[in-house]
Structure 1
């Protein structure tokens, strides 16, 4: 009986905590995702943008406790259309089959976001440093995530999987700098 009472109390407490949080949509028009890939040799580092399809943050007061973002992989842009077409192909992100990726932030502690990224139906844990600023009625979350593409099955020209690539080798990691905007 005592165990049941404790479990019931914990359930009520967790529901109270969830109810105390407010769900707010991310401003997908002003939020920005900028990706950068890197050659393994030399300084070649093309960059471009991606759009958010949708996203929400969970707030307790003005503090973000969690978030869920959906990235529109078909929105990938870069000045070199041949590069974009290759990145959208099966060699890389296969956007016809996997048109969205998701970023789930489970917690934010000590200036870091912790969660999972799902890309090409593969989910991997991540953590990255972030900064949260409040200006007027707007929250802005900025940072840069470093993502290992090989963990999502993207191995094209990876020196970890192929030899003799020379200056055609591509680093396993790419960066995504972000500025996520929430209007309060």
Structure 2
């Protein structure tokens, strides 16, 4: 009887994976320091969201860390910061060209979800939890990432003394707008 019920329920469920449209999706970041902030973009290499009927149940993404781009600077200043962000002081993109996020738990229904996932940056995987809104072929999330958890300690007052106005805050903002 239980097997018949499980088969009946499964036949009414529609599991579907929806690939993210990389060209129409956008990831922006903001890094904060004592004297201000810098803004930029990051490109998705690939990504997909998983649904059961219309309910979000999973997802997996790969970010192209070599695409890190500063948008608030121009010329030599921009080139210098972009190069520094790609260096081993920050994301070490030569050795770690991608970062990944794999959802491990999704709670919620309708359009509002709380997502927990494993974020891997520079070969280090840590859990992260954030809110995500999903509606009509798009998904949005905004969250903070503590870079020091991924071995990125450059300019952190938590690890270096006497940085004064050269200190860079440990957390940076990531804003994600996905189209699928």
Distance 1:47 1:69 in 2: 22
Per the alignment, residue 152 of structure 2 pairs with 154
Which has the larger displacement, 164-173 or 101-110?
A: 101-110
RMSD of equivalent CA atoms: 1.9
Distance 2:159 2:92 in 1: 19
Residue 107 of structure 1, CA deviation:
2.7
Task: Say yes or no: does 1:176 pair with 2:174.
Answer: yes
Distance 2:178 2:103 in 1: 13
Q: How does 1:71-82 map to 2 (within 5 A)?
A: 71-78=63-70, 79=73, 80-82=78-80
Per the alignment, residue 3 of structure 1 pairs with none
Which has the larger displacement, 73-82 or 97-106?
A: 73-82
2:50 to 38, 54, 58: 58
With the length of structure 1 as denominator, give the TM-score of the two structures. 0.83
Structure 2: runs of 5 or more not aligned: none
Residues paired across the two proteins, number: 164
Partner SS state of residue 102, structure 1:
strand
Partner SS state of residue 169, structure 2:
coil
Residue 114 of structure 1, CA deviation:
1.1
The answer to whether the 8 Å contact 1:52/1:72 transfers is yes
Residue 93 of structure 1, CA deviation:
0.2
1:27 to 21, 26, 36: 21
With the length of structure 2 as denominator, give the TM-score of the two structures. 0.85
Distance 1:181 1:106 in 2: 21
Residue 20 of structure 1, CA deviation:
4.3
The answer to whether the 8 Å contact 1:65/1:106 transfers is no
Per the alignment, residue 101 of structure 2 pairs with 103
Higher strand share: 2
Structure 1: runs of 5 or more not aligned: 1-5
2:126 to 124, 144, 149: 124
